[in-house]
Amino acid sequence: MKPTGRPPEKAYIRSYGCQMNVYDSERMADLLASEGYEIIDAPGDADLVILNTCHIREKAAEKVYSELGRLRINKERARAEGRNPLIAVAGCVAQAEGEEMIRRAPAVDLVFGPQVYHRLPRLLARARAGEKVIETEFPTEEKFDALPNDRRSVTSTRAATAFLTIQEGCDKFCTFCVVPYTRGAEFSRSPEEILDEAHRLVAAGVSEITLLGQNVNAFHGVDGAGRGHDLPDLLKALAGIDGLARLRYTTSHPRDMTQKLVAAHRDIEILMPYLHLPIQSGADRILDAMNRKHTAAEYLAIMADIRAARPDIAISSDFIVGFPGETDAEFEATLRVVETVGYAQAYSFKYSPRPGTPAADSNEQVPEPVKAERLARLQALLEGQQFAFNRATETAILPVLLDRAGRKDGQLAGRTPYLQAIQVEAPVALLGTIQQVRVTKAGPHSLFGSLADNTVPVKFEARTVQLEGVTS
């Protein structure tokens, strides 16, 4: 922390939305802490409030504007007391709204997109000098190269797990999604840089790295010699790092799920048996309207291949119900895919029109009550599958990375290879280590366990993916 000679300024950061945003917020908090800010957990006394926004969910921009309304009242109160708190909006809503944000909410002092977080101290200095700051340029490869390391990976000195961004942006233009507009074109970092950074993380005590990207399996980094490398190449190279015990990656598109990547799940021991592969819908006509460029049968064929390569793999997905024009029969097709695959975990959403995306203009919008009913049915099925998956690991002994304090004294929390959250009776001294844990109880969303000293591999029945009746 820089000595300032006066009480530290206080910053409050509120994070909305995806994993990338949560970690971006942590980076901003680290950066602000190193600039002398105290990070607080309510906006009331803050000298700086940052809303790190997400554009994916329903009415995202409207929610941000109503939060800004509350913050404006806060700011007026603070001004009456002689303080002048800054209000900043970061993330995808900021990127999408730009100047419009300051027009609609004049109390806002700064608007900046996901690519400029590393310049935050300079942006704040400009705002403190009275400027309304708007920084929402699109990223380019050169700019990504210019980013300091702290914008690329997220870890803290104590952390056993880290997220490493290897790819950003997306060129797929699914017709419901804002990401190609807010995060820009797809680009990949160079493999050398990624490896360097991974080495540094491992040297700092990290034993699990999750590779991040909006379209991570489209990764195509070019090395110094001009040779291209895909995600399986990168995973193989990373697996060679001494001391690295676990690798994960997220989030993927079925179109980029190559046989080589499937084989990596069989061949790379430290690649964890977990795959988040969104299908969105089980109906081919809807998949086509979504511009997903794959069929349900192609997705199920990938499932069959990946389960042949790694029979115990835990599968996760994203689903959208009530996409414009979705009929009852098409929704039923989604349920059939879910029944066929058997998910360990999943995220499901009602379709919500995002301004500027093609599907938002469709005149076949599905009525809200129909969407709500479909979502409830889908979620009941998915919840049941998650619980069943969790129960299948009951009594098994699994290696658990104990990466944080548990809910109660005497407990640590961690993750199984299948990314299940687990509370373990274990002493604090084991924080940051991988231990063999016997699963004593399975809940719908998490597990409980105690330390074990012998290993009994978990027994999963490899599910046979039924391809009959599904035509491509």
Of 51, 177, 359, 400, the residue at the interface with ligand SF4 (CB under 6 A) is: 177
Q: Is 189 in the site for ligand 5AD (CB under 6 A)?
A: no
Contact stretch for ligand 5AD (CB under 6 A) within 134-142, 197-205, 350-358, 450-458? 350-358
Q: Is 234 or 277 the residue whose CB approaches ligand SF4 more closely?
A: 277
**x/- letters, 262..301, toward ligand 5AD (CB under 6 A):** ----------------x-x---------------------
Beta bridge partners of 49: 12, 87
Query: How far apart, in Å, are the Cα atoms of 409 and each of 91, 183, 338, 412?
Result: 36, 41, 38, 8
Contacted by 320, from ligand SF4, ligand 5AD, none: CB < 5 to 8 Å by type: ligand 5AD
User: Cα–Cα distance between 427 and 328 in angstroms, integer?
Assistant: 52
Q: Is 318 in the site for ligand 5AD (CB under 6 A)?
A: yes
Alpha-carbon dihedral sign for residues 193, 196, 201, 204? negative
Check: CB of residue 316 under 8 Å from CB of residue 277: yes
End-to-end CA distance of the chain: 59
Contacted by 341, from ligand SF4, ligand 5AD, none: CB < 5 to 8 Å by type: none
CB of 224 to ligand SF4, least distance (A): 29
Of 45, 103, 173, 450, the residue at the interface with ligand SF4 (CB under 6 A) is: 173
Residue 223 dihedral angles phi and psi, to the nearest 5°: -85, 180
β-sheet with 110-112: strand ranges across? 38-40, 10-15, 48-53, 86-90, 110-112, 133-135
Q: Is 174 in the site for ligand SF4 (CB under 6 A)?
A: yes
Q: Is 229 or 354 the residue whose CB approaches ligand 5AD more closely?
A: 354
Helical packing angle, 296-309 and 328-341, nearest 10°: 10
Q: Is 113 in the site for ligand SF4 (CB under 6 A)?
A: no
Q: Is 345 in the site for ligand 5AD (CB under 6 A)?
A: no
Q: Is 406 in the site for ligand SF4 (CB under 6 A)?
A: no
Q: Cα–Cα–Cα angle for 232, 233, 237, nearest 5°?
A: 115
Residue 375 dihedral angles phi and psi, to the nearest 5°: -65, -40
Contacted by 173, from ligand 5AD, ligand SF4, none: CB < 5 to 8 Å by type: ligand SF4
Check: CB of residue 255 under 8 Å from CB of residue 215: no
Check: CB of residue 123 under 8 Å from CB of residue 131: no
CB of 171 to ligand SF4, least distance (A): 8
**Site size for ligand SF4 (CB under 6 A):** 10
Of 176, 343, 418, 448, the residue at the interface with ligand 5AD (CB under 6 A) is: 176
- Return the SS3 of 220: strand
- Return the SS3 of 79: helix
Give contact residues for ligand 5AD (rule: CB under 6 A): 56, 176-177, 278, 280, 318, 320, 349, 351-352, 354
